[in-house]
Amino acid sequence: MNRELLQVYFIMGSNNTNRDPLAVLEEALQGGITIFQFREKGAGALIGEEKRTLASKMKELCHRYNVPFIVNDEVDLAIEIEADGIHVGQDDEPLIQLKQRCPDNWIFGVSATNEKEARQAIKDGADYIGVGPIYGTATKEDAKQPIGVEGLAGIRAIAGDIPIVAIGGIKLGHVLRLRKAGADGVSVISAISQVEKPRQTAELFKKYNQYIPSYS
């Protein structure tokens, strides 16, 4: 995949904002997010038809802005609504198995917290690795112990040229050091979903990324 797509990787579900999630997503798209992941999980998450409808509307919105739409974890939903890819964690269906059911041209992402998990993700054919949590986060209830910038750099060192995106507690002020440590971009939920002006914040995330050349 084009690693520049990972620069401003916005993730959101309906319970990550007090506002209309579609309005927040559209503002983030206007601000220049480069990829989006639908993650409808945790307390108060939508289920069934309501979840499907929101996912479908979010996909349409992303496509209007030419931004890839990724689904967290739920392969059947992703296939049904014709997403552009899927992201799985360590406790989800193994990538190698799931790939058999998905279109070849999809983007496949895997989460990794340590070098062992990263090596496995690469072996299984991940297009990119989500590395984290880098910092403490209140957004994911079962988040692991933060690995810091050093943990990220360690994974970069063994990942070769596989694109990696940093996740977990990331704010604007972290972007430069994470890119310098080898991340191709940053993945955020609350830093965009819970601010007053998602558009302006997304613009700044994009701008800060432009200061650092792509990893090669």
Residue positions annotated with a catalytic role: 39, 111, 140
Collapsing DSSP to helix, strand or coil, 92 comes out as: coil
Indicate whether 120 belongs to the interface with ligand 3NM (CB under 6 A).
no
Pick one of 14, 17, 137, 201: the residue that binds ligand 3NM (CB under 6 A). Answer: 137
**Residue closer to ligand 3NM (CB basis): 77 or 188:** 188
- The least distance separating ligand 3NM from the CB of residue 183, rounded to whole angstroms, comes to 13
Pick one of 13, 32, 85, 133: the residue that binds ligand 3NM (CB under 6 A). Answer: 133
In the numeric block, the tokens 């991340």 are attached to 183
Q: Which residues pair with 70 in a beta bridge?
A: 37, 85
Question: Longest C-alpha distance within the chain, in Å?
Answer: 43
**Residue closer to ligand 3NM (CB basis): 31 or 132:** 132
**Residue closer to ligand 3NM (CB basis): 34 or 139:** 139
- The least distance separating ligand 3NM from the CB of residue 137, rounded to whole angstroms, comes to 3
Task: Report how many helices (DSSP H) and strands (DSSP E) the chain contains, helices first.
Answer: 9, 8
- The least distance separating ligand 3NM from the CB of residue 216, rounded to whole angstroms, comes to 25
- The least distance separating ligand 3NM from the CB of residue 89, rounded to whole angstroms, comes to 6
Distances (CA, A) of 161 to 71, 169, 182, 199, 215: 24, 25, 10, 31, 8
The alpha carbon dihedral of 140, 146, 152, 157 has a sign of negative
Q: Please report, as residue ranges, which positions from 138 to 197 form the binding site for ligand 3NM (by CB under 6 A).
A: 139-140, 143, 167-170, 188-191
**Residue closer to ligand 3NM (CB basis): 12 or 66:** 12
Q: Which residues pair with 36 in a beta bridge?
A: 10, 69
Quick count: other Cβ atoms within 10 Å of Cβ 66?
8
**For residues 77 and 27, what is the distance between their CA atoms, to the nearest angstrom?**
24
- Footprint of ligand 3NM on this chain (CB under 6 A)? 11, 111, 130, 132-133, 137, 139-140, 143, 167-170, 188-191
